[in-house]
């Protein structure tokens, strides 16, 4: 036999073997025995998914009334190692089970009525700004209610780039910056909460803390290198570089010295500031403090209510089209939804280019908001 034909024949036999054992169509082609499925569910799945198809703990999805073909696809992707759980573990749902048993168990769950919700359709109003405002109450004593501080030595956060606020807050915890004692509170904030706070402060109008001093021009000769990164007059478009214009003068003085003296650990800033005398630092601080502050150029993420309309184009009733099997999200476990969206965003759950490139999903706060919304809806 011709070598190529032989190779092709071997490949075809191999593929046929695969689809016999593992192929995507095989499970759904098997006959369904609901009673037998109930027994398998009892023995192998209920400890986590319940007999009513409601996940018994956070992170475990509800399976009741889910699109059957989607569930089949999901167990097969675990079985083939294409999908791992949110901690990167391979799920062994199929271990020790025949295909027929697995098919029956999945069919059993899909046949159940949806998990009942105490309340009917809940309207979730998730506003980044309002959440941030509520969460920022403990910050107000020092940073001011709207982020315009009136306390000497405390930085203004109003109008600051949110990406910078988030990064700066982190650096008090990872030890890059010495943490002011009251910042211990920041430790208990989730990433999503911190984003909401940052968005709140960023969207507030920044106000000057010092009026133009007669001697402010004295700093001009030292700042030509600074404006490359911090923007002309100390306000720029690079969201990771803080705006300096109109910042609290005492704070600028302290902070410039702490980079210079390596108290605040930052290579770039240390290089930019080393060799400056205290008197020169004061001139630079005065210069930036008296410049008019500008609002950050950051645009807040799309609102949850507007996003949901787009998601529901595919998700509202689920989609049984075999080319794009789409699970129902209403009434799903909140923590599980957060995990699922996070893994799409971070590229750890393949098969969904749409979810991973969606810039709306870049924010933890957006993922939290969407999970809060969907978990509160009545399952259908
Ligand atoms: C030890 C606990 C445990 C057992 C036992 C278990 N599961 Fe799961 N299952 C999970 C967890 C946790 C997830 C979510 C994993 C992730 O984040 O992807 C999951 C996910 C699933 C999914 C994906 C749902 C979706 O919305 O994408 C299906 C389908 C599923 N399990 C079916 C089963 C079946 C059928 C059985 C029994 C044969 C079973 N599982 C046994 C814990 C379990
Ligand atoms: C008791 C006063 C106080 C409270 C309350 C406080 N901070 Fe601060 N914060 C400071 C001081 C002082 C600094 C400057 C520390 C330094 O020198 O690095 C600072 C710095 C910061 C910075 C860095 C800003 C920059 O320009 O680099 C961020 C971000 C921040 N705080 C966020 C918060 C948030 C969010 C809260 C509330 C959850 C909060 N702070 C509560 C006093 C406070
Ligand atoms: C190469 C880019 C770059 C240059 C040049 C630069 N900076 Fe910075 N600067 C940064 C970055 C990035 C940060 C944030 C560092 C951090 O996370 O602590 C920063 C932080 C600061 C801060 C702290 C602001 C705050 O809110 O805590 C001050 C003040 C500052 N720079 C002043 C200056 C001055 C003055 C110069 C010129 C002598 C200068 N910088 C030059 C990039 C630069
Ligand atoms: C174009 C159709 C489409 C749109 C629009 C869409 N999705 Fe999806 N979604 C899918 C498909 C298909 C899957 C199944 C992918 C898979 O098998 O991993 C999915 C899966 C999911 C899952 C996993 C659920 C589970 O049980 O594991 C979540 C969560 C999710 N989408 C959330 C969203 C959110 C939130 C939006 C809006 C921001 C959205 N999707 C928009 C098609 C869509």
**What are the tens digits of pLDDT across the range 309-344?**
989 988 988 778 888 889 999 999 999 999 999 888
Nearest protein CA to atom 11 of ligand 3, as residue: 241
How many Cα atoms are found within 13 Å in the side-chain-facing hemisphere of 252? 26
Average pLDDT of the residues in 300-308: 91
- Give 214 or 215, the one with higher predicted confidence: 215
CA distance 361 to 341: 8
Q: Are 201 and 158 in contact (CB under 8 A)?
A: yes
Q: What is the number of the ligand 2 atom nearest to the C-alpha of 198?
A: 35
Distance 269 CA to ligand 1 centre (A): 49
CA distance 337 to 343: 10
**What are the tens digits of pLDDT across the range 65-104?**
999 999 998 988 887 777 877 777 767 777 889 999 999 9
Q: What is the number of the ligand 4 atom nearest to the C-alpha of 367?
A: 35
CA distance 117 to 330: 10
What confidence score (pLDDT) does residue 212 get?
A: 64
Instruction: Assign 353 a pLDDT band (cuts: 50, 70, 90).
Output: low
Average pLDDT of the residues in 12-40: 67
**What are the tens digits of pLDDT across the range 145-168?**
999 998 999 999 999 999 999 999
- Give 348 or 170, the one with higher predicted confidence: 170
Distance 48 CA to ligand 1 centre (A): 7
What confidence score (pLDDT) does residue 21 get?
A: 44
How many Cα atoms are found within 13 Å in the side-chain-facing hemisphere of 29? 8
Is 137 a residue whose pLDDT tops 50?
yes
Distance 328 CA to ligand 4 centre (A): 9
What confidence score (pLDDT) does residue 235 get?
A: 95
Closest by Cα among 338, 330, 298, 300 to 314: 330
């Amino acid at each position: 036999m011709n070598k190529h034909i032989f190779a092709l024949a071997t490949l075809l036999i191999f593929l046929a073997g695969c689809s016999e054992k593992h192929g995507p169509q095989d499970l759904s082609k098997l006959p369904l025995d609901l009673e037998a499925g109930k027994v398998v569910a009892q023995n192998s799945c209920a400890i986590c998914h319940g007999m009513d198809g409601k996940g018994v703990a956070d992170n475990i999805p509800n399976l009741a009334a889910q699109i059957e073909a989607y569930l089949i696809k999901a167990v097969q992707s675990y079985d083939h190692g294409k999908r791992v759980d949110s901690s990167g573990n391979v799920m062994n749902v199929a271990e020790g089970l025949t295909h027929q048993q697995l098919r029956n168990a999945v069919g059993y769950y899909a046949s159940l009525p949806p998990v009942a919700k105490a309340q009917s359709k809940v309207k979730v109003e998730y506003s980044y700004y309002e959440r941030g405002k509520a969460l920022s109450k403990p910050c107000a004593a020092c940073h001011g209610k709207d982020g315009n501080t009136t306390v000497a030595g405390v930085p203004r956060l109003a109008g600051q780039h949110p990406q910078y606020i988030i990064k700066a807050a982190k650096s008090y915890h990872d030890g890059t910056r010495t943490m002011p004692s009251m910042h211990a509170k920041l430790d208990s904030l989730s990433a999503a909460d911190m984003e909401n706070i940052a968005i709140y402060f960023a969207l507030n109008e920044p106000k000057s803390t010092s009026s133009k001093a007669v001697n402010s021009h004295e700093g001009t000769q030292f700042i030509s290198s600074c404006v490359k990164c911090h923007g002309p007059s100390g306000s720029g478009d690079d969201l990771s570089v803080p705006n300096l214009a109109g910042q609290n003068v005492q704070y600028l003085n302290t902070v410039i010295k702490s980079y210079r003296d390596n108290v605040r650990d930052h290579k770039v800033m240390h290089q930019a500031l080393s060799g400056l005398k205290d008197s020169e630092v004061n001139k630079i601080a005065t210069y930036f403090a008296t410049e008019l502050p500008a609002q950050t150029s950051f645009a807040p993420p799309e609102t949850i209510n507007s996003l949901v309309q787009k998601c529901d184009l595919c998700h509202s009733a689920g989609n049984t089209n075999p080319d794009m099997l789409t699970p129902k999200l209403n009434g799903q476990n909140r923590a599980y939804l957060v995990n699922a969206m996070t893994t799409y965003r971070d590229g750890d759950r393949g098969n969904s280019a749409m979810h991973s490139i969606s810039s709306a999903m870049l924010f933890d706060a957006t993922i939290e908001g969407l999970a809060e919304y969907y978990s509160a809806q009545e399952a259908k």
